[in-house]
């Protein structure tokens, strides 16, 4: 029998203080991928509408915080399985009335809310989960018919799934192992079709700035290639496969469910 792969959530719980700091830094230093999302949203949505957005695996809620600066008329709900991050976010954003943060597991959101969401976000989450198909199904179930499910994750051009077990010797907690998955884009697309999506498209995310190699840990850094291009690495592993999947939920399929 295969041993259970080490989970990202366990690594975060075990190294909580460091991870909380890392998440807090994302408030003052807006992540480049969030800036990219802000550019994509007006191409995909009528951003003037008063959307309800669910951010699954929201950490401390930093993505909602940055989106709110552009779309203050939206209502945001963030969920994460690590309760300490949710508590920290509630403390940090206690003055933001249109943001609610709750503890919930991405795999079991079917009955999270009576009203489905216009926009559902899974931002840098899927690649660290136990069961990506279950989590995708769960996110899809809580997306409104005709609504948008937006996922940033690692998607491979080859018809191959990768699981990388990283051991972070510099981690201060007892749990130093974590699994990072890179999915086959073809398989991801095929599963979306099984779910009955209307459309799924992919945008490659190229890191626009140079990120220095961290002294320790798993944070992403860049290495320069020729002609100004860069590749992204984390803990020495190539993680240059970040893509944003934009899924539109089919109206008809949902009506039949
Ligand atoms: C790489 S972080 C991304 C956090 C945030 N989306 C961001 O972009 O800063 C992955 C997040 O997924 C959360 N997570 C891991 N397993 C989860 C699960 N089963 N359900 C919900 N959240 C989970 C982690 O606690 C962590 O906050």
- The tens digit of pLDDT for each residue in 43-54 reads 999 999 999 999
Report the nearest-CA residue for atom 16 of ligand 1: 9
Direct distance between the N- and C-terminal alpha carbons of the chain, in angstroms, rounded to an integer: 36
**pLDDT reading at 197 higher than 50:** yes
Distance 201 CA to ligand 1 centre (A): 23
Q: CA 39, CA 146: separation in Å to the nearest integer?
A: 21
| Residue burial 225-256, b: 16+ Cβ < 10 Å; e: rest | eeeeebebbbbeeebbbbbbbbbbbbeeebee
Provide mean pLDDT across the span 95-106.
98
Contact 33, 153 (CB under 8 A): no
Domain residue extents for the chain: 8-210+240-249
Q: Name the average pLDDT for the chain.
A: 93
Determine whether the shortest distance from the Cβ of 89 to ligand 1 is under 6 A. no
Distance 173 CA to ligand 1 centre (A): 18
Distance 228 CA to ligand 1 centre (A): 31
Contact 147, 116 (CB under 8 A): yes
- The tens digit of pLDDT for each residue in 224-251 reads 888 878 888 888 888 888 999 999 998 7
Distance 194 CA to ligand 1 centre (A): 25
Report the nearest-CA residue for atom 3 of ligand 1: 124
| Residue closest to 151 by CA, chosen among 116, 191, 119 | 119
Residue 257: which pLDDT band, with cuts at 50, 70 and 90? very low
Residues in the chain: 257
- The tens digit of pLDDT for each residue in 118-141 reads 999 999 999 999 999 999 999 999
Report the nearest-CA residue for atom 1 of ligand 1: 124
Question: Helix, strand or coil for residue 154?
Answer: strand
Q: CA 76, CA 90: separation in Å to the nearest integer?
A: 13
Determine whether the shortest distance from the Cβ of 106 to ligand 1 is under 6 A. yes
Question: What pLDDT does residue 253 have?
Answer: 47
Distance 108 CA to ligand 1 centre (A): 14
Cα 70 from chain centroid? 19
Report the nearest-CA residue for atom 4 of ligand 1: 59
Task: For the sheet with 230-234, list strands across it.
Answer: 220-224, 230-234, 237-238
- The tens digit of pLDDT for each residue in 26-36 reads 999 999 999 99
| Residue closest to 204 by CA, chosen among 228, 226, 185 | 185
At the second CATH level, the architecture of 8-210+240-249 is 3-Layer(aba) Sandwich (3.40)
Distance 59 CA to ligand 1 centre (A): 5
- In the chain, which ranges are E strands? 52-56, 75-80, 99-103, 117-123, 143-156, 162-167, 177-184, 199-204, 220-224, 230-234, 237-238, 242-248
Determine whether the shortest distance from the Cβ of 125 to ligand 1 is under 6 A. yes
Q: CA 146, CA 162: separation in Å to the nearest integer?
A: 32
Element spanning 140, H or E: helix 132-141
Query: Which atom of ligand 1 is least distant from the CA of 129?
Result: 16
Query: Which atom of ligand 1 is least distant from the CA of 122?
Result: 6
Q: CA 188, CA 156: separation in Å to the nearest integer?
A: 10
Provide mean pLDDT across the span 196-203.
96
Determine whether the shortest distance from the Cβ of 129 to ligand 1 is under 6 A. yes
């Amino acid at each position: 029998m295969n041993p259970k792969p080490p989970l990202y959530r366990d690594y975060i719980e075990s190294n909580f203080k460091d991870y909380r700091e890392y998440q807090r830094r994302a408030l003052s230093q807006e992540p480049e991928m969030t800036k990219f999302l802000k550019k994509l949203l007006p191409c995909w949505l009528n951003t003037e509408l008063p959307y309800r957005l669910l951010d699954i695996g929201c950490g401390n809620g930093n993505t909602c915080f940055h989106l709110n600066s552009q779309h203050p008329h939206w209502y945001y709900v963030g969920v994460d399985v690590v309760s300490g991050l949710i508590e920290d976010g509630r403390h940090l954003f206690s003055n933001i009335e249109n943001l609610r943060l709750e503890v919930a597991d991405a795999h079991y959101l079917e009955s999270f809310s009576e009203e489905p969401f216009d926009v559902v976000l899974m931002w840098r989450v899927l690649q660290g989960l136990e069961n990506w198909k279950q989590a995708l199904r769960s996110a899809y179930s809580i997306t409104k018919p005709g609504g948008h499910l937006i996922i940033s994750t690692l998607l491979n051009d080859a018809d191959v799934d990768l699981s990388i077990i990283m051991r972070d010797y510099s981690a201060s907690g007892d749990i130093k192992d974590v699994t990072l998955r890179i999915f086959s884009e073809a398989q991801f697309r095929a599963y979306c079709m099984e779910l009955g999506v209307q459309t799924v498209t992919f945008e490659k995310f190229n890191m626009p700035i140079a990120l220095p190699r961290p002294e320790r840990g798993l944070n992403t850094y860049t290495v320069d290639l020729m002609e100004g291009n860069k590749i992204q690495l984390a803990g020495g592993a190539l993680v240059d496969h970040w893509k944003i999947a934009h899924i539109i939920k089919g109206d008809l399929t949902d009506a039949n469910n």
